[in-house]
Amino acid sequence: MKTVKLIEGKQNGENVIIVSFYTNEKLENHLMQLKELNRDNSSGKFYIKNTGQNLSLVFNHMRKINCYVDYTELKQKQTDKPKKKVKLYLPPIDSLNKQNLNRFRKWLEEKRLSPNTVDTYIEVTSFFLRYTILKNSRSHSKRLVESFNYEFIVQEGKSISYQNQCINGVKKYFLFKGIDIGALNLSRPKKEKKLPVVLSKVEVRSIIDATHNLKHKTLLSLIYSGGLRIGEAINLRIDDIDSRRMLIHIKGGKGKKDRYTLLSGSFLKILREYYKQFRPKDYLFEGQKELKYSASSAQSVLKKAVMSSGIRKKVTLHTLRHSFATHLLESGTDIRYIQELLGHNNPKTTMIYTHVTENSIKNINNPFDDL
């Protein structure tokens, strides 16, 4: 029995199926009967556009003459191609669920959760309620939540972090509605243990130098020099800067905790220059139309600075905070003090910086150097 192999190839820049076989007049004549097939004049190869329909066409045509068709390589390549993410359409929320969401928001605000947390829980719960409308379901069962988790989160390729936010939001909503959460046994997936991106001191300097607007330069310098979260930076008021004690007072940080962090002498010079030029009245950084500067504007400022400095790392505002902590650790600062400056509840959170500090890695003798 003759063997014909179907393989993937390129012809005039187009993906094609090439019919490969040892020279055989009978096979050639049979292939020429298939009008959809093309033939390259220089190589003599038969080919056809690579589609599932054309694959079936060639396969069935060759089987007519007692011929073995091997298309395992082609089939494997098609299997390896990434699947397109399925976009789930959710219907608009109805008036009853809208009323429930409004009551849910008030309930969350009464619990004194942060505005960002409230907005996140409302958003993800809204998606869940719209999903119940899609499924025409009135009962909030574990099976419905699992189905929502798979179709809305897993199939659409959303992150583990977003998945946890959805589960947290739904759990809070069930608690608000008086549904027994324990009986549902909703569990959160484990987070990926990724190490933070850290900039060198030279890279931080280049980002700040690439920021020519004084207000923008002051904001980025503050976030790095104090190890602040962006929300903490834009919520700072003028009287939170204690220049006599060289401290910055962070009020109502994450977990509603107050703390003090460092006020750099070099940064204080930049800050005084900024204050003389912009004269903020209440918040240290004021927006053009709002009372305070927005987080999105700050992200945009950093993005432009990173592009101008030529740094290719994936840098966010939080990267400046990570870099502050790592540089303190590398300079010999006790990790317990770093924990206090960052406002971490658990020392394990701060310990992650021991994995990215240069001091813990660069002093190890590489065995390759001894060869």
- In the set 130, 321, 322, 327, the catalytic residue is 321
Is there a catalytic annotation at residue 344? yes
Q: Are 277 and 286 in contact (CB under 8 A)?
A: no
Integer Cα distance of 172 and 176 in angstroms: 6
Exposure letters 225-256 (e unless 16+ CB within 10 A, then b): bbbbbbebbbbbeeebbeeeeebbbbeebeee
- Ranges of H-type helices in 242-292: 265-278
Integer Cα distance of 108 and 170 in angstroms: 12
- End-to-end distance of the chain based on CA atoms, in angstroms? 56
**Count, residues in the chain:** 371
Is there a catalytic annotation at residue 61? no
- In the set 47, 173, 224, 353, the catalytic residue is 353
- In the set 2, 105, 215, 254, the catalytic residue is 254
Integer Cα distance of 224 and 208 in angstroms: 10
- In the set 229, 274, 293, 327, the catalytic residue is 229
Integer Cα distance of 35 and 312 in angstroms: 52
Category of 282 on φ-ψ map: left (φ > 0), alpha (ψ -120 to 50) or beta: alpha
DSSP annotation of 153 reads I
Integer Cα distance of 165 and 132 in angstroms: 18
- In the set 105, 158, 292, 318, the catalytic residue is 318
DSSP annotation of 92 reads P
Integer Cα distance of 10 and 47 in angstroms: 9
Integer Cα distance of 66 and 113 in angstroms: 73
Is there a catalytic annotation at residue 321? yes
Beta bridge partners of 20: 5
Q: Are 141 and 131 in contact (CB under 8 A)?
A: no
Q: Are 195 and 356 in contact (CB under 8 A)?
A: yes
- Catalytically active residues are 229, 254, 318, 321, 344, 353
